[in-house]
Structure 1
Amino acid sequence: MVNKVVTGKIHEIIRYPVKSLQGERLRNTNIKEYGLYGDRSHVFIDETKKKKYYMATYNQKLLSYRAEFAGEDKATEYPDVKITAPDGRTFYWHEQACLEEFKQLTGENQLYQKTFTPQHVPIGPIEEEHILILTTSSLKALERKIGTAIDWRSFRPNFIVSLDDDTPFIEDQWFGKTMKIGEVELQIKRHCERCTIVNIEPDTLKANTNILKTIVKDRNNYFGVYASVIKTGKVSVGDEFSII
């Protein structure tokens, strides 16, 4: 029996220059050995925390700030990171005002910043694998189950993909397979286990607890899949892919 090749297109590309802040939607990006160029390359550190990275699980207000690179990709150093506060104020990662803003927000005076390099971002800041993928069909299925629209940003994906065969949760069958996007190759590794952050709408910070409850009940708390990078290259919105 020959397995059917799954095909589709890249629907959205999202990068998060600062861990736990909102990210930026991209038309195209470079895939490095660690994932999207610059993804989670800037982090807040709190040595008193178990994982040392200060995350939105400790303070959900981080989710209402947005980070983006203010310039083109550079090989040896990142462009400046521009941060937009929920009230519309803007400042940059390298400015003292940035650290003071987040110390005040979190109440953690021991907080400090760390920036990795374009050549290497370790797995810790990027979560548990290089790239997180969601499918539009699974998102729509979850919306139907809950009975309301869902802001996909709450799931913090890197890729949202649309499938030619619009079957919800077909990604459960992808583990160990290869996603080919032009010259880029990714290996689909495993499920993404979810936490309460999926309940939070990033702009308003309002919570819909039915989201996680439904994922726990119907999906064993899994939604989305992780992939690791096999071959690097460039990807763009609209690129066709295949799962083989």
Structure 2
Amino acid sequence: MTRTVSEIWRHPIKSHGRESVAQVLLEAGKMLPWDRTWAVAHEMSEADGSEWVSCRNFSIGTKAPELGAIRAKLDEATGRVTLSHPKRPDLTFDPDREGDKLIAWTDGFIPESRAQSVRVVRGQRQGFCDSDFPSVTLCNAASHRAVEERIGHALSRQRWRGNIWFDGGAAWEEFEWIGSDVRIGDAVLRLRERTDRCLATHNNPDTGARDAQILETLDSFGHRDFSVRAEVITGGRVAAGDEVTPL
């Protein structure tokens, strides 16, 4: 059975857009480059980027479905990010110096009952993934299709906000790899834990509306998990079309 990388995604600003890339250069002990480099802290948060903190400190799709429809494009040379949303004109800005522009641009996306966005912070030690170790999420297209079949209609893969997607394997086999290593292209990753899921998966990545009962569908499989969090053990190039081989 040959498994290959089908897609690679990064999310420069946590919960504020996604971007497809053709290849990445992974480094041992680090997240996927430019993934969740920044996050948007809300008014109840003391996060300043000096250390990793959990997602509860930030404005995220679990609390604000409209954020799910944001797309991002990062200029690596300048560090500037362009965001797009069906209800907004595009915004190009420097997250390190012009965070106020993002706060203004997302005005109205955060429900009034939720803590409002106040500042953009940059992770100084690692990006703001949802694990306390620098992780890369590995997603199985066959597992996604199993969810689609169970729910009864097509779903965008971007509901899962994953990093590296592979195809050619069996549904849910990635859970059996926990504790083992996987070679992807030139890199080796150690799969450490399942990725537990939240209401952000209910958000339509095209419209920002909640339109699918993903958690309830996962319940029918006996869990609320999708994808696995992995640690990069050996760095190297990973590109679409590379083989994914359990070791």
| SS of alignment partner, residue 99 of structure 1 | helix
In structure 2, distance between residues paired with 1:109 and 1:206: 19
d(CA) in 1 for partners of 2:185 and 2:145?
A: 27
Give the Cα separation in 1 of the matches to 2:212 and 2:85. Answer: 25
Query: Can you list the C-alpha shifts for 1:49-84, whole angstroms capped at 9, x where unaligned?
Result: 583222122211111222221245xxxxx6211112
1:216 aligns with 2:212: no
Offset, 1:154: 0.5
Indicate which of 53, 58, 61 corresponds to 1:53.
58
Rate the CA distance shift 1:207–1:47 in 2: closer, same or farther, 3 A: closer
Give the deviation of 1:24 after TM superposition.
0.5
Cα distance 1:221–1:110, how it changes in 2: closer, same or farther (>3 A)? closer
SS at match of 1:35: coil
Q: Of the candidates 130, 135, 138, which is equivalent to residue 133 of structure 1?
A: 138
TM-superposed deviation, 1:105:
3.5
The corresponding residue for 1:186 is 189
Q: Distance in 2 between matches of 1:204 and 1:11?
A: 24
Q: Is the 8 A contact 2:9 2:21 kept in 1?
A: yes
Mark the CA change 1:209 to 1:91 in structure 2 (over 3 Å): closer, same or farther.
closer
Contact 2:185/2:239 (8 A) holds in 1: no
> Is residue 38 of structure 1 aligned with residue 34 of structure 2?
yes
Matched with 2:80 is 80
Residue number in structure 1 paired with 2:51 = none
Amino-acid identity (%): 22
Task: State the distance in 2 between where 1:56 and 1:210 align.
Answer: 15
Checking the alignment, whether the CA contact within 8 Å between 2:69 and 2:206 is kept in structure 1 is: yes
- Find 1:167's aligned residue among 166, 170, 179: 170
**Residue pair 1:22, 1:202 contacting (<8 A) in 2 also:** no
Q: Report the Cα distance in structure 1 between the residues aligned to 2:245 and 2:160, rounded to whole angstroms.
A: 23
**Aligned CA-pair RMSD:** 2.2
- Whether the 8 Å contact between 1:41 and 1:121 is mirrored in structure 2 is yes
Residue 179 of structure 2 contacts residue 190 of structure 2 at CA under 8 Å; is this kept in 1?
yes
> Structure 1 residue 237 and structure 2 residue 233: aligned?
no
Distance 1:60 1:208, change over 3 A: closer
Distance 1:169 1:131 in 2: 17
Query: What CA distance in whole angstroms lies between the structure 2 residues aligned with 1:243 and 1:234?
Result: 17
Distance verdict in 2 for CA 1:187–1:97, change over 3 Å: same
Runs of 4+ aligned structure 1 residues displaced above 4 Å come to: 107-110
Tell me whether 1:152 sits opposite 2:157 in the alignment.
yes
Equivalence for 1:112? 119
Could you tell me how far 1:242 is from its partner in structure 2?
0.7
1:75 corresponding residue in structure 2 = none
- Cα shift readout 1:2-22 (whole Å, capped 9, x = no counterpart): xxxx75111110000010022
Paired residue type of 2:184: I
> What is the aligned length?
228
* TM-superposed deviation, 1:186: 0.6
**Alignment gaps of 5+ in structure 2:** 46-53
CA distance in 2, matches of 1:28, 1:121: 20
**Could you list the per-position Cα deviations for residues 84-111 of structure 1 after superposition, in whole angstroms to 9, with x for gaps in the alignment?**
2323522223234323223454365661
TM-score (norm 2): 0.83
